[in-house]
Amino acid sequence: MADLGPIRFQPASDQSLLVSFGDEITPAANDGVRRLLLLLESDRVPAVVNLHPAYCSLLVRFDGLRIEHEELETILRSYVARMEEVPMPEPCKVEIPVCYGGEFGPDLDELAAMHGMASDDAVALHASATYTACFLGFVPGFAYLGGLPDSLATPRLRTPRRSVPVGSVGIAGNQTGVYPYSTAGGWRLIGRTPVAMFRPAEGHMSLIAIGDQVRFRPITVREFAKLSDTCS
């Protein structure tokens, strides 16, 4: 495990403590988040009621009638001290079929043009990379994927859409991801997948679990329709 530098504990509310592994999105900081999360999931602190991981921080929510910030911080520091011993699970490889462009990816052409490339090249580039699921958040089953090729990094839309269709694949800054539900959103949409992201009946409850290695496979409109039938 790489050196993380100082870990910061900060009350986020009267019933939560934010544990930060630095102020930059780095693999080492995200590794720290995943290790502490795994440790807290396997060796539970009774007064902790929920955990919200992110790129380089973990929000620990607790029952304020049972514990307070200082006491929890002491406990969490002892967990942090044990983090290196945590055996990290072998990441799963996940492939997500995506129909790029057209009505499924209304922002693809503009995004490609912003980078001076043809839409097909932007698709090929997006589908060539292997992404790491840094964490799941926002809504059920939304995996924040790191590892987007630099030449595809694009700022969010100036005005977010009020409703993004389910399964939309988007880019925001240097991250990419799939919308599991129809929500408002400012990511630039380049395609859509017909497969369900949140799967509460399955082991990890989500097609993509934290730490997974994810790739996108371009499919045709016809394949999209066929997969939609088998997935519904």
Partner 1 sequence: MLVIRVESPGLFTTVQDLGRPGFGPVGVSASGAADSVALRLGNRLVDNPEGAAALEMTLLGGALEFPEGARAAITGSDFGATLEGSAVPLWAAFDIRAGGTLLLGPTRSGARCYLCVHGAIAIEPFLGSASTHVLSGLGGFNGRPLRKGDVLPIGPATVITSRERSIPAELLARLTPRTILRVTDGPQSGWFSETSRNILYNSMYRVTEEANRMGLRLEGPAVPANSSSEMITEGVALGAIQMPASGQPIILFVEQQTTGGYPKIANVIAADMSSVGQLRPRDEVRFERVDFNTAMRLLVEQEELIRAAH
- Contact positions vs partner 1 (CB under 8 A): 10-16, 18, 20, 23-25, 37, 41, 49-59, 61, 64-65, 68-69, 135-142, 144, 180-181, 183, 198, 200, 204-206, 210
Smallest distance, partner 1 to C-beta of residue 112, A: 25
Q: Between 53 and 105, name the residue whose CB sits nearer to partner 1.
A: 53
Q: Between 97 and 185, name the residue whose CB sits nearer to partner 1.
A: 185
Q: What is the distance between the alpha carbons of residues 9 and 11, in angstroms, rounded to a whole number?
A: 7
Q: Between 47 and 122, name the residue whose CB sits nearer to partner 1.
A: 47
| Residue 1: CB atoms within 10 Å | 11
61 burial class (0-12, 13-18, 19+ CB within 10 angstroms)? middle
Q: Between 10 and 74, name the residue whose CB sits nearer to partner 1.
A: 10
Smallest distance, partner 1 to C-beta of residue 19, A: 9
Q: Between 10 and 151, name the residue whose CB sits nearer to partner 1.
A: 10
Smallest distance, partner 1 to C-beta of residue 131, A: 16
Smallest distance, partner 1 to C-beta of residue 169, A: 17
Q: Could you tell me which residues come within 8 angstroms of residue 216 by beta carbon, excluding any fewer than 6 positions away? A: 95, 96, 97, 98, 126, 127, 169, 191
Bridge partners for 183 per DSSP:
164
Smallest distance, partner 1 to C-beta of residue 121, A: 29
Q: What is the distance between the alpha carbons of residues 174 and 104, in angstroms, rounded to a whole number?
A: 21
**Exposed e or buried b for every residue in 84-97, given b needs 16+ CB within 10 A?**
eebeeeeeeebebb
| DSSP strand pairing (93-100 vs 213-218) | parallel
Q: Between 58 and 219, name the residue whose CB sits nearer to partner 1.
A: 58
Tokens of 138: 């926002």
Q: Could you tell me which residues come within 8 angstroms of residue 203 by beta carbon, excluding any fewer than 6 positions away? A: none
Smallest distance, partner 1 to C-beta of residue 17, A: 9
Q: Between 53 and 97, name the residue whose CB sits nearer to partner 1.
A: 53
Residues 156, 145 contacting (CB under 8 angstroms): no
Q: What is the distance between the alpha carbons of residues 27 and 213, in angstroms, rounded to a whole number?
A: 13
Smallest distance, partner 1 to C-beta of residue 225, A: 23
